[in-house]
Structure 1
Amino acid sequence: MLKLQIPKNRINYLIERMQHDFDLAALETGWEFFHKGRVRDVELLDGVEVHADVRGKQTYKVTIDLDSFAKSNCSCSLGACCKHMAATIYALYASYARPELLLQQLRQAKLVKKRQQSARTTATAARTEKKLDRLEPPKPDQPPAAWQRYFDQQFYGYALTQQNSIELFYNAVKDSLMPIAADWDEPLRSLYTLHVLLFVMRKIDQFYADTKSSYLSYYIETGSKTVAKQCMERFAELLPALNFAELLEEHERALNETTALVGEFALDGKESPVEWLLVYRSIWWRLENQRQRVEQERKRLELLRANETLMPRKRDALLIALAHFDVMQGDDQKAMSLLEQLSRREAKDFFLYLHRCYELQQWNRMLAWLRWLLPSVQRAQQEELRTFCTYWMEAVGHQPDDGEWVDVMIALLPRTYYFYTSYLMKAQRYKSWVDLQISNRVSPLNLYAMDLKAVESSDPALLLPLYTQAVERCINEKNRNAYKTAVKLLKKLHSYYKKLDKENAWEEYIYRLATRYSRLRALQEELRKGKWIP
């Protein structure tokens, strides 16, 4: 459309002015004018002024000064920074890249600038207001709600500006909030530590939601998941230290507020990098002896679930929470029946029960959960699959045979290849191990030398088809390097034939191989170098 091309530094200067001087409406309408071909007669005068005609209700004269943008003008009523000037700049940009991409870039820049201005205004107003109402540090006699308000105030307006900001936030929280309860008595000090973790988790949710459309979204999501995992690890360490009996006796109100806060976040069904349902169920498991309290919570969940307008994710969260109380009472079948109503079953949501069974060495109960989880594991992430297989390996060791385990591993191939191959080697099922490598077309060069040595010591004949297949695959690649690899494999294959005292079979095999591929001159040369053929 346009052959005029101004220097790159001039284009960058104009883009900068578009970001700062034009409003979004002018930028969008300007692009429409350009897209519809309304920019005509673009020319460069004296190397510093661009002139163009832009058709609107009438034809407007646009002049853009490349040295001083402030001198630029348009014959329209606005006079400058208008849609006609924007259309002309898009026309100039078209010789470098697609103007619609520039429009997207400008939209994003305007959106970020608007958010920053809004955040600064809000933060300034909040700082002015909060100076008049500065909270005192938490005290042991205060309810946890007051602790959380203090936490929020201390980190109000915390902005994420780099990919490590969430990790830095977590460290800042620990450094500034943890020492406050250093001299408190147990178990309140542990409960306070739990609330600091819950605060971090709440903020992770907030950061994760607020930056969904930001250019930093990938880094924020990654950082959120990393810190959420660290919080869950710290939670797992902290939970056994919480003395619920003492909390119920001396700080019942604080405990009630804690369970209410956790329930609020665990049961809302929102997407989150934090495993809120795991936190919720772990805490209630520690309260399983409080029958009246448990029954009240169950009734509350039933009332919430009765709402027919619930979104699927929230309904699922309530189902998982309700089923947990059945598990706590040992009625796994009732829990599984309830969980069949889930709109989406995620394996990771139920590893809590596998771990519990492992701790109590309830192997049959663990197997029941593993069988129930099997359909959802087929679409699980690799880390979840690894956890699933690890628990099943533990359970199968307490069964009369491993037939079911083997069937599961085969059904989940190729994703279970590493678990299955490791198990077969450990169980000394060398024939099945070799068959697995052959079916997955694994080269002996990619296998552990110690594993090959173990099979060789048991029965070298098992390795003959594995090496034979690898040789054939190398030859079929039809290049010199592959032929050299084939000869290397043949050398090892020959050693197995010798060990089996099958020299005649070897001679017949190498003769047939050379004959079958007699037209491959490079292969024949490599075979001669290896002294396999005359």
Structure 2
Amino acid sequence: MSDARKKTTHVAHESQGRTPKSTDSYPTWWSYWERKYGRTQVTYAHAMETSYVRIWGELNKLADDWERDKQGLYDGFVVLYMMQLVDRWTLRFGEIDDYAQMGAYYLSRIADGCIERMRAAVQSCPSEMLGIRDDAYRQGLASVLAEGLLGKPDHSGMPWFQVYKLLWSTWLNDRVLLEQERARLRPLAQDPYQDARKREGAIHLLVSLDLVAGEDDNAWERITTGLRNVELEAWFPYLTEMAEKQEWERLQQWLIWLRPYVDKVYLSQETEMYLELWEKVEEHATAFAEAAYRETLVRLLPASFWAYEAFLLRREEYRTWADACVMLGHSPLHLQPDVLKRVEKADARLLLPLYHYAIEKQITAGHREAYKSAVKLLKKLDLLYKKLKATPQYEEYGARLLAQYARHRAFQEELKKGKLFIYHD
């Protein structure tokens, strides 16, 4: 039996026959909720949400006339209770007729509601409002929170980690509570015989506490030595918060530290989010940030090309941009027209290798659609040479092209259709 359940059993007699009061202990509140709603059954997915909304409404209004601090703490406990209750419903998903089809949808709606309501509770009762008389409630929140997170089912849809992060950065952000929580988690994190999911879950929580305390070096060591895999998405909420707080130097160090793990992910949403955070750092931080961001962009090519292109264009480094396009095999047909115009205006010569490479690539593809693309590129190349007053060089290039691919009849036909001046019968 869990700690919270033992406490609720112990104090059940306190709440028999009456609704919770602001002076009650949190186990008394929990006992009342469990007696009234603990056996609630749901038989279809939509009933999870309707039951959640109904129970929340009934419990929330019980504290309408309480003092503000107790009202906020009470609502916080209600959110945790509802999350545990929904987890128990999902453990019986086999009894829910349409769970496989609709369960994830309704769970995501409930999860969003839990986060929103916990944030509202914290905002209605800022940490500075809490006093010594509230310490028992804060310790209770820490206990129930850790129990719910480490004991959640594998397929839980509840936002336990997000709520943990929120509460430990607000109500629970206290030196004594932090040490107590670390003492609770360390045995789990260090036990090699512990269930791997629970052990790594404890490590994640310890890392979260390190971040709250600003001890990033400890966090990195725990991650690298304790986790089998570094999941990028697990750390983005923290990085986003650093950006919101404008902790640019700190965020930069985290982005540099995470870079080897991003190297292993190709063209993913995580890569995009990672580079968007880098862009924010580069806008606000030091010259070192610019150099580190450039190195990151080059290392992550081709996945980072969209960001690397923007980085180079902001600095008018058009030659480097053109070299990157050739290296990556990007055709002018697939590049942004406004970018091509911008580079052409700055120095049209930079586009010549890009067009030459793309034309050769289309011709060697060896089919008619590719030949048509090659002719389209040749026409633009003709205009570029004329702009540079270098028509003789274009004619020489065309003559070599005709000779080299003289046996490609379909290509010769497309040249004739395109009425290119380099074509001769």
Distance in 1 (alpha carbons) for counterparts of 2:325 and 2:379 = 20
Map 1:436-475 onto structure 2 (within 5 A): 436-475=324-363
User: Does residue 287 of structure 2 align to residue 400 of structure 1?
Assistant: yes
The answer to whether the Cα contact below 8 Å between 1:148 and 1:195 also exists between their aligned partners in 2 is: no
Pair 1:526–1:389, CA change in 2 (3 A): same
SS of 1:506's equivalent in the other structure is helix
The answer to whether the Cα contact below 8 Å between 2:87 and 2:157 also exists between their aligned partners in 1 is: yes
Shift of 1:230: 6.3
Distance in 1 (alpha carbons) for counterparts of 2:52 and 2:393 = 68
Residue 417 of structure 1: aligned partner: 305
Shift of 1:503: 0.9
Tell me which moved more, 138-147 or 443-452.
138-147
1:147-174, Cα deviation, whole Å (9 max, x unpaired)? 7537845x8222335xx77666666666
The answer to whether the Cα contact below 8 Å between 2:150 and 2:198 also exists between their aligned partners in 1 is: yes
Residue 513 of structure 1: aligned partner: 401
Pair 1:422–1:259, CA change in 2 (3 A): same
Pair 1:450–1:167, CA change in 2 (3 A): farther
The answer to whether the Cα contact below 8 Å between 1:288 and 1:328 also exists between their aligned partners in 2 is: no
The answer to whether the Cα contact below 8 Å between 1:487 and 1:530 also exists between their aligned partners in 2 is: yes
Residue 284 of structure 1: aligned partner: 168
Map 1:89-108 onto structure 2 (within 5 A): none
TM-score (norm 1): 0.64
Distance in 2 (alpha carbons) for counterparts of 1:352 and 1:342 = 20
SS of 2:381's equivalent in the other structure is helix
Distance in 2 (alpha carbons) for counterparts of 1:274 and 1:240 = 21
Distance in 1 (alpha carbons) for counterparts of 2:92 and 2:42 = 12
Map 1:51-450 onto structure 2 (within 5 A): 140=22, 143=26, 144-146=29-31, 148-149=33-34, 152-153=37-38, 156-161=40-45, 185-195=67-77, 197-199=79-81, 201-202=83-84, 205-206=87-88, 210-211=92-93, 217=100, 220-221=103-104, 224=107, 228=111, 231-232=114-115, 235=118, 239-249=122-132, 251-268=134-151, 271=154, 272-287=156-171, 290-305=174-189, 307-344=191-228, 345-379=230-264, 382-397=268-283, 398-401=285-288, 402-450=290-338
Shift of 1:177: 6.2
Distance in 2 (alpha carbons) for counterparts of 1:452 and 1:530 = 22
Distance in 2 (alpha carbons) for counterparts of 1:160 and 1:468 = 63
Distance in 2 (alpha carbons) for counterparts of 1:233 and 1:518 = 69
Which one has a larger percent helix, Structure 1 or Structure 2?
Answer: 2
Residue correspondences, number: 399
Give the letter for the 2:269 counterpart.
E
The answer to whether the Cα contact below 8 Å between 1:460 and 1:500 also exists between their aligned partners in 2 is: yes
Pair 1:304–1:531, CA change in 2 (3 A): closer
The answer to whether the Cα contact below 8 Å between 1:347 and 1:380 also exists between their aligned partners in 2 is: no
Shift of 1:268: 3.8
Give the letter for the 1:464 counterpart.
L
User: Does residue 378 of structure 2 align to residue 494 of structure 1?
Assistant: no
The answer to whether the Cα contact below 8 Å between 1:277 and 1:317 also exists between their aligned partners in 2 is: no
Shift of 1:300: 2.1
Which one has a larger percent strand, Structure 1 or Structure 2?
Answer: 1
SS of 2:214's equivalent in the other structure is coil
Give 5+ residue unaligned stretches, structure 1. Answer: 1-132
Give the letter for the 2:271 counterpart.
L
Shift of 1:285: 2.1
Pair 1:360–1:526, CA change in 2 (3 A): same
Distance in 2 (alpha carbons) for counterparts of 1:420 and 1:244 = 43
Distance in 1 (alpha carbons) for counterparts of 2:222 and 2:172 = 20
Shift of 1:192: 4.8
Pair 1:514–1:178, CA change in 2 (3 A): farther
Shift of 1:439: 2.9
Residue 110 of structure 1: aligned partner: none
Distance in 2 (alpha carbons) for counterparts of 1:434 and 1:166 = 56
Distance in 2 (alpha carbons) for counterparts of 1:342 and 1:447 = 44
Distance in 2 (alpha carbons) for counterparts of 1:225 and 1:512 = 63
Shift of 1:249: 4.9
SS of 2:225's equivalent in the other structure is coil
The answer to whether the Cα contact below 8 Å between 1:467 and 1:493 also exists between their aligned partners in 2 is: yes
1:54-99, Cα deviation, whole Å (9 max, x unpaired)? xxxxxxxxxxxxxxxxxxxxxxxxxxxxxxxxxxxxxxxxxxxxxx
Distance in 1 (alpha carbons) for counterparts of 2:89 and 2:305 = 38
Shift of 1:357: 3.2
Pair 1:198–1:510, CA change in 2 (3 A): farther
The answer to whether the Cα contact below 8 Å between 2:56 and 2:82 also exists between their aligned partners in 1 is: no
Distance in 2 (alpha carbons) for counterparts of 1:250 and 1:371 = 43
Give 5+ residue unaligned stretches, structure 2. Answer: 1-14
Q: Give 1 or 2 for the bigger CA radius of gyration.
A: 1
Pair 1:247–1:380, CA change in 2 (3 A): farther
SS of 2:226's equivalent in the other structure is coil
The answer to whether the Cα contact below 8 Å between 1:135 and 1:150 also exists between their aligned partners in 2 is: no
1:265-309, Cα deviation, whole Å (9 max, x unpaired)? 223475344442332133122246632232222222234445453
The answer to whether the Cα contact below 8 Å between 2:243 and 2:251 also exists between their aligned partners in 1 is: yes
Shift of 1:377: 2.8
The answer to whether the Cα contact below 8 Å between 2:372 and 2:414 also exists between their aligned partners in 1 is: yes
1:181-236, Cα deviation, whole Å (9 max, x unpaired)? 56655344444554554455445545655559999547534654565466546655
